[in-house]
Chain A
């Protein structure tokens, strides 16, 4: 990620880039643990087994990239604004699960996700205030 873009790029664009990398990171983690679960079906619930997969490490690196973009944005926009925009991941992650991982998502799960999204939109401002105080 170019340093100049981190310093001078549009902060809202940086938040969406961060959300993009969060989505990629979660997909990579899921692919990784599924692959190790096929090899070790009895111990797959112990998360540490997943660390055998290069996909999981790719997920960690993608997560770090998303964190860098997030921190770059936070230098120039209030946390409450950043937090609101970052919630796009609650739509992109399930949508990409359906598109790329072939997960079937029932209308009930979509409805639950919409409720969760509404809750976070509602709490974003007071929560950001709390986080800024701590």
Chain B
């Protein structure tokens, strides 16, 4: 559990679940603009969002039990990379130089923190 690779994988899994939860919440909320909320369309993404956030939270608590918070907190930044790469892969956003620089910086940062 204490190996840096395991910590990194669990932190990444926690952030992927978090991003999935947020996206599902957003999808659910998109059905609430009308006068009546279509529950059959609203509930599946809403419950999926709850499951994603809850899963991410439980993984985060497990990580907190093993490592100092100052070590783990910078790993939360992985969610920005997950969102950015998800947008490039699924939304066909451009992989801009700014995005590449950001991914390189976060990789160096997370590497330094994991090695500390």
Q: Is A76 positioned at the interface, with any CB of B under 8 Å from its CB?
A: no
Number of A interface residues, CB 8 Å? 48
Which applies to chain A's interface (DSSP): helix, strand, loop or mixed?
helix
Chain B residues 37 to 88 lying within 8 A of chain A, measured CB to CB, are: 57-66, 68-71, 73-74, 77, 80, 83-84, 87
Instruction: Check if B98 sits within 8 Å of A93, measured CB to CB.
Output: no
B77 to chain A, nearest CB (A): 5
Q: Give the distance in Å from the alpha carbon of A118 to the alpha carbon of B116 in the complex.
A: 19
Instruction: Check if B68 sits within 8 Å of A119, measured CB to CB.
Output: no
Q: Give the distance in Å from the alpha carbon of A33 to the alpha carbon of B62 in the complex.
A: 8
Q: Is A4 positioned at the interface, with any CB of B under 8 Å from its CB?
A: no
The residue from A29, A94, A116, A130 contacting B61, defined by CB atoms under 8 A apart: A29
Instruction: Check if A27 sits within 8 Å of B77, measured CB to CB.
Output: no
**Would you give 9 A-B contacts (Cβ < 8 Å), ordered by A?**
A33-B61, A47-B59, A47-B64, A112-B113, A116-B105, A118-B105, A126-B99, A127-B80, A130-B91
* A interface, CB within 8 angstroms of B: 26-27, 29-30, 33-34, 36-37, 44-51, 56, 89-90, 93-94, 97-98, 101, 103, 105-106, 108-109, 111-120, 122-123, 125-127, 130-131, 133-134
**Given A97-B73, A115-B109, 19 other A-B residues pairs in contact with their CB atoms under 8 A:** A29-B64, A34-B65, A45-B1, A47-B63, A93-B73, A94-B69, A94-B70, A103-B69, A112-B74, A112-B113, A114-B109, A116-B77, A116-B110, A119-B103, A120-B80, A123-B84, A126-B84, A130-B83, A130-B91
